[in-house]
Amino acid sequence: MSEPLFTLSTSPARRVIGISMLLVLGAVSVFIALTRGHDSLFWQIFLLILGLAVLYQAEMMRRATALSLELYPDVLRDSAGQELARIDDIKELDRGTFSIKPSNGFTIVTHTSGQRSWAPGLWWRLGRRVGVGGVTSAPHCKAMAEMIEAMLRERDQADETG
pLDDT per residue, tens digit, the chain (162 aa), is 588 899 999 989 999 999 999 999 999 999 999 998 767 889 899 999 999 999 999 999 999 999 999 999 999 999 998 999 999 999 999 888 778 888 889 999 999 998 999 999 999 999 999 999 999 988 999 999 999 999 999 988 887 776
**Residue partners of 19: CB distance under 8 A and separation at least 6:** 58, 61, 62, 65
Residue 71 falls in which region: left (phi positive, over 0), alpha (psi -120 to 50) or beta:
beta
Q: Which CATH number fits domain 69-161: 2.30.29, 3.30.40, 2.120.10, 2.40.50?
A: 2.30.29
In the prediction, which pLDDT does 76 show? 94
In the prediction, which pLDDT does 157 show? 85
Cα dihedral across residues 134, 94, 75, 6: positive or negative: negative
Which pTM was predicted? 0.84
**Using CA atoms, how far apart are residues 12 and 16, in angstroms rounded to an integer?**
6
User: Any idea where the domains of the chain sit in the sequence?
Assistant: 11-64, 69-161
In the prediction, which pLDDT does 104 show? 85
In the prediction, which pLDDT does 1 show? 59
**Using CA atoms, how far apart are residues 47 and 104, in angstroms rounded to an integer?**
31
Residue 137 CA, chain-centre distance (Å), reads: 12
**Using CA atoms, how far apart are residues 43 and 18, in angstroms rounded to an integer?**
26
Q: Under a CB-based contact definition with an 8 Å cutoff, are residues 141 and 69 in contact?
A: no
Q: Under a CB-based contact definition with an 8 Å cutoff, are residues 22 and 54 in contact?
A: yes
